[in-house]
Structure 1
Amino acid sequence: MLDTCGTNGVCGGPGASCDTIAPFTHNQIYVGCNTPAAVCNLATQTCIAASSAGMRRREDEQLPVGPTSCRHRTEQLCVSNGVASCADLASDFEHCGSCGKDCGETEGADTVACERGVCVVWNCKHGWKQVGSTWIRITASK
């Protein structure tokens, strides 16, 4: 079952007939419309009029975007940019400690790693120094 187009033209939007609130159902992740008058534009997540020449079958409107469960107990299912992937939150550089926590975005860090779910900075960038568990920009003295 899929969400239908809402009264605002957004797939699953206000007035839509939704069959579930869970993003992962029936071992798949689907985005789509289930109405005879419209189909879901997957790029814009809006409903557009269905062509009279032939409606797309429901299967053609569904978009699986990755796994729905992980094989290893140490991994968690994370969704990034609309794609699901399994990540070990204890060591994954882009999902360190929680889904989406990217160690590469640690401000002032030059060399960084994910260790036991925490981003650990080994070296600061030039012009930065570590103060406790944060890094601050050093102002040049005159």
Structure 2
Amino acid sequence: MHATLALASLASLASIALAQIPSGYGRFPCTLVNGDGTFSADPNQCADDALINPAGVADDTGIQGSAANPTGAMCTLEAETGAYFCGIAGAECSSDANCDNGTCDLASGTCQGGFLQDCGGDDANCSGYLYCTNADQTNPDPLACGEDGVFCQDPFAVSDGQSAAEIAATYDQFCSSGYCSNVDGNCGQRFTLGQDCSADVFGCGTTDAGVQLTCVDNAGVQTCQVEGASPAARSRSRRAALHRRNLCPASHTACAVEGAAKGFECIDVSSNIEQCGACASAGGVDCTAIEGVAAVGCVAGTCEIWSCEDGFTFDAATGACTSA
């Protein structure tokens, strides 16, 4: 049985001090941030002696995070996030040992076990932090890696000092749906407009028009709502958002242009360094404005600090550059 962890207690995982914070489902990041903010592969980070097991020491307990490190792993792009990881699904391989969990398909010469790939009821067939079985390991039928209904709360993927929101965002990356439920620890679908969100305040999705919902408390009742909008304003907002969304690619969000009353631009908020996670008007973060940061990127909608300016040091507990 996989241990399902409530987010209220996850912030006290002091025993997992060596855990690595992923920006995707791979356990071993190998992303190089270029001067222009773009990403490229850094094979040096995949050298056998450079890999640090998320659990500190590998074991055979059946937890993906603490499985043995790969050897001879290739640095490979995870298309879902734009980040690079060692030995994940799609990486070149000649044996299972070259893969970060999962298996090596000798016919294609690539590692297997990515999102929605068949796994035959065996977690070991899934790549990185992905699982094949549910939290109770009682799947009536074999599921696919990262599919709705499979476990997604690997304890070694998070670390002490992370906020509940950061932990939830980390686990969401292990599901093809983009949502790991705090209710049962399995991948699933987010709550819709008006649904009860008391069991998981991070579980609200979007409206049909793509507007982000928030878990709002109204007289002790928590439901997913468009925060701060009156019924009439919500209606106008839905129509406007739908119009803007139809003019942008599916992977981009229509963000208002500062200073233009009705202007907007299509932004990929999952990777835009100045509107990371959301449009600036909707609370998106300008990663470049973080104090003390020298090199920073936006990966999967979260600012990632890669280096600090002179006079600052990175504080892993707070995830920020602090004055030395």
Scaled by the length of structure 2, the TM-score of the pair is 0.23
**Which structure has greater helix proportion?**
2
Scaled by the length of structure 1, the TM-score of the pair is 0.48
**Which structure has greater strand proportion?**
1
Greater C-alpha Rg: 1
